[in-house]
Chains A and B, each alone.
Chain A
Amino acid sequence: MAGPRAGAGILGRGREVWSTRSAVRHGVVAVGALLVMIGLLTAASDYQATVLTDLAYLAIAGGGLTVLTGLNGQISLGHGALMAFGAYATALLLPDREAGTPLLVVVLVAVAASSVVGLLVGLAAARLRGPYLAGATLALAVAVPGLPLYFKDVLADGEERLPAVMPEIPIWATDTAFYLTGADPSPSKYIAFCAGVLLIVTFWFLANLARSRVGRRWAAVRDDEVAAELAGIHLGRSRVSAFVVSAAAAGAAGSVLAVKSRGVSPESFTLDLSLTLLAAVVIGGLGSLTGALLGSAVLVAMDQVVDDAGIALGLSQIQAAELAPLVYGAVLVAVILLAPRGLTGSVQALRRRRTAAPAAPAPRDRTRGSAAADPPADGFAPADTTADTTADTTTDTTTDTVPSGAASTPPGPTTRTPRGTP
């Protein structure tokens, strides 16, 4: 992850990027998460540790996608492709056991590699929106797996698969683990631990960034381009910076994926991966990092449960593996039709409806009121900001007053937006 100083160049002046208060507050949460993770890993079996690693890389990439799509309003169907760059950088740095590159360096290089690609894509994408952007990133997702195939002679001596060998577990890590748990850490647990730390650091970084002025700019650009531009925000710069940060997270996720599966091959980074990421983020609730984590957890859990259920129903192993995408695709469709704000958004709306029911003030006051519980509320109060936008756009386009708490109910067929060519 690019540190605050490195980020300052792309993202604006240093003091705007970082708010010490939220950094400390998020830091407390991060330390808590670290403790929970250590507890989980101690109790987990080796297999469960690999499942947790899956969760970690999905959530890291999902966090990046949340920043881009939820916070900045740019959709990307190409995050799987961005992960590929991080993963290949990782595999190139870890060709065998003797490579000896520290994992931290590996991750940083992977992040840098995908950030550079993210910068290029972001520059090209800054002018596109909606379906155009979706299509362009879709093309990216389909095009990138062809690259390692074309360059396989250079990359992997003609093989399709490029191995990534995890370096030896450092002595201090073995010692600490032994001291804490009374057993030597297995390689998969060590990978899961590193992935978890990376997840926590990434989320801490993204949460701070989103709370900072940069994050507010991203949200402003998403909510109203014209107003943002009038307020002196450079639209292009804001969009590109969101893309770079998002791609950096994807690179870190790719690094985890490469180490976890002990190698990379083009078929790991197909369109399916990108769509899985999008599904995780949307199901969890677009625009909230908690949502990205929850959505990834839902997908990983669903994979396990549905697989078992499929085999119990008498499907073959291969067929059962297809059952999970069927279920999460259907869930994705249902979420976007019935609760477009996902898990976190719906829970928040429900809670708010309950608290707001007796007083029932005007909708705008209500959103402000609930947000005011959190002093610097215009930052990354994810669901709050999305609630604001939905409420605002609805009032703007339909001139109806929005009944309190109605933001989560999708408008029926009668409120179709004007269609056809003007």
Chain B
Amino acid sequence: MQQLTNTLLGGLTLGLVFAAFALALVLIWRSTRVVNFAQAPMAMLTTYVALTLLDDGLPYWVAMLAALACGLVLGAVVEVLLVRRVSHTVEINPVILTLGLFIVFHAVAALVFGNQPRSFPAPFGIRGLSVGGQTIGVTGTDLFAVVAVLVVMGALVALFTLTDLGLRMRAAAFNSEVARMLGVRVGAMLTLGWALAALVGSVSGILIANGSLVSPNYMDSVVVFGFVAAVLGGLESPVGAVVGGLVLGVSVSVVSGYLSSQLVALAALAILMLVLSLRPGGLFSTPAARRV
């Protein structure tokens, strides 16, 4: 019973981090019709930036903020220099572009930071908290992750629903032609969208790194989990991404707790195939009409 509770709690925490990552994918997909497979290595690079600063003796919060700022800049640069210039006439061109970036970022990290796994400190310890005299499987660092993800999500919701800037970003994503006619600087909005998504990605990168090992490919499985979570929600829906992330987090946690951690990616694949064969557009999608 206690193991089950701990597995589920751990799964929900993990799920929230996946949800943040999936949210970043959805943000980019909605505005530029690109699934950013390079998001994981981008987050990996910014996490390495944080780790380097930490090794230099800077406090955790400074390092984290610096990593987020790097993520923001990296996202904007990638959009302006590359994504903007890829032809969408063939559907797989943008996919191949982000995969090329995936390879490049991996190699850069391995060249600059080395292939050896390095440990990343945990800001709040990795010992289970005690509730009512019993130790539960939730650590202070886990709680920090939950709070951080909720803050990020709240900020995104506030940005998109309450501010003028958010409205403009939504307009640019919804219909770029009309938005442009109404005076929205669509290009700038798309760049901002990429920058924000990269920032959210960096947050999840750091949250996953907290208290564990960082290597150039430590995020590889996360790109799968984040993608599966986003697709569970239909790639379009932010709420779907969060629900998908939670579902996936719990399933991953159960599989790795009761079966084996080596089958985790396979479980994600099975869930993905199951959902897509029942609803090819994801759980939260509305069936699209096809013009013939």
Residue contact B85 to A410, C-beta cutoff 8 Å? yes
Q: A134 interface residue, CB < 8 Å from B?
A: yes
Task: Give the contact stretch, choosing among A32-40, A103-111, A323-331, A362-370.
Answer: A323-331
CA distance A413 to B32 in the complex (A): 12
Q: A166 interface residue, CB < 8 Å from B?
A: no
Residue contact B91 to A135, C-beta cutoff 8 Å? no
Interface string of A352-396 (1 = CB under 8 A from B): 000000000000000000000000000000000000001001100
> From DSSP, what is the main secondary structure of chain A's interface residues?
helix
Residue contact A330 to B104, C-beta cutoff 8 Å? yes
Residue contact B104 to A333, C-beta cutoff 8 Å? yes
CA distance A221 to B29 in the complex (A): 25
Contacts of B82 in A (CB 8 A): 333, 337
Taking A75-B96, A128-B276 as known contacts, 8 extra A-B pairs with beta carbons closer than 8 A to each other, sorted by chain A number, are A130-B95, A143-B266, A323-B111, A336-B93, A337-B86, A413-B187, A416-B88, A419-B33
Residues of B162-180 contacting chain A, CB below 8 A: 172-177
Q: B181 interface residue, CB < 8 Å from A?
A: no
**Nearest-Cβ distance from residue B100 to partner chain A, whole angstroms:** 4
Contacts of A150 in B (CB 8 A): 260, 262-263
Q: B284 interface residue, CB < 8 Å from A?
A: no
Contacts of A139 in B (CB 8 A): 224, 227-228, 265, 268-269, 272
Residue contact B115 to A318, C-beta cutoff 8 Å? yes
Residue contact B89 to A134, C-beta cutoff 8 Å? no
Q: A52 interface residue, CB < 8 Å from B?
A: no
Q: B84 interface residue, CB < 8 Å from A?
A: yes
**Nearest-Cβ distance from residue B197 to partner chain A, whole angstroms:** 15
Cβ-neighbour of A124 out of B104, B217, B231, B277 (below 8 A): B277
Interface residue range, chain B: 35 or more
Q: Count of A residues near B, CB < 8 Å?
A: 62
Residue contact A132 to B231, C-beta cutoff 8 Å? yes
Contacts of A418 in B (CB 8 A): 175-177
Contacts of B88 in A (CB 8 A): 416-417
Contacts of A393 in B (CB 8 A): 89-90
CA distance A140 to B31 in the complex (A): 27
Q: B221 interface residue, CB < 8 Å from A?
A: yes
Q: B21 interface residue, CB < 8 Å from A?
A: no
Contacts of A146 in B (CB 8 A): 262-266
Which residue of chain B has the shortest Cβ distance to A69 in the bound complex?
A: B92
Interface string of B77-117 (1 = CB under 8 A from A): 00000101111111111011101111110111011001100
**Nearest-Cβ distance from residue B78 to partner chain A, whole angstroms:** 10
Residue contact A129 to B91, C-beta cutoff 8 Å? yes
Cβ-neighbour of B176 out of A73, A128, A325, A420 (below 8 A): A420
> From DSSP, what is the main secondary structure of chain B's interface residues?
helix
Residue contact B111 to A326, C-beta cutoff 8 Å? yes
Q: B235 interface residue, CB < 8 Å from A?
A: yes
CA distance A341 to B268 in the complex (A): 33
Q: B120 interface residue, CB < 8 Å from A?
A: no
Residue contact A147 to B266, C-beta cutoff 8 Å? yes
Residue contact A275 to B263, C-beta cutoff 8 Å? no
Q: A30 interface residue, CB < 8 Å from B?
A: no
CA distance A183 to B169 in the complex (A): 71
Q: When A150-B262, A337-B82 are in contact, do A332 and B96 touch as well, CB less than 8 Å?
A: yes
Residue contact A328 to B103, C-beta cutoff 8 Å? yes
Q: A24 interface residue, CB < 8 Å from B?
A: no
Which residue of chain A has the shortest Cβ distance to B261 in the bound complex?
A: A146
Contacts of B32 in A (CB 8 A): 419
**Nearest-Cβ distance from residue B189 to partner chain A, whole angstroms:** 11
Leading 5 A-B pairs by shortest Cβ distance: A329-B103, A326-B107, A332-B100, A329-B104, A143-B265
Which residue of chain A has the shortest Cβ distance to B228 in the bound complex?
A: A139
Q: A262 interface residue, CB < 8 Å from B?
A: no
Residues of A312-347 contacting chain B, CB below 8 A: 315, 318-319, 322-323, 325-326, 328-330, 332-333, 336-337, 340
Q: When A128-B280, A150-B262, A420-B174 are in contact, do A336 and B86 touch as well, CB less than 8 Å?
A: yes
Q: A278 interface residue, CB < 8 Å from B?
A: yes
Q: When A139-B269, A326-B107 are in contact, do A75 and B92 touch as well, CB less than 8 Å?
A: yes
Residues of B28-55 contacting chain A, CB below 8 A: 29-33, 35, 37
Cβ-neighbour of A336 out of B96, B272, B273, B277 (below 8 A): B96
A-B contact pairs, 13 of them (CB 8 A): A132-B231, A134-B35, A135-B224, A139-B269, A139-B272, A270-B217, A275-B102, A282-B96, A325-B104, A329-B100, A332-B99, A333-B104, A415-B87
Residue contact A135 to B272, C-beta cutoff 8 Å? yes
Residue contact B276 to A417, C-beta cutoff 8 Å? no
CA distance A130 to B276 in the complex (A): 13
**Nearest-Cβ distance from residue B40 to partner chain A, whole angstroms:** 10
CA distance A228 to B229 in the complex (A): 33
Contacts of A325 in B (CB 8 A): 103-104, 106-107
**Nearest-Cβ distance from residue B115 to partner chain A, whole angstroms:** 7
CA distance A70 to B38 in the complex (A): 23
Contacts of A332 in B (CB 8 A): 96, 99-100, 103
Contacts of A275 in B (CB 8 A): 99, 102-103
Residues of A131-148 contacting chain B, CB below 8 A: 131-132, 134-136, 138-140, 142-144, 146-147
Contacts of B103 in A (CB 8 A): 272, 275, 279, 325-326, 328-329, 332
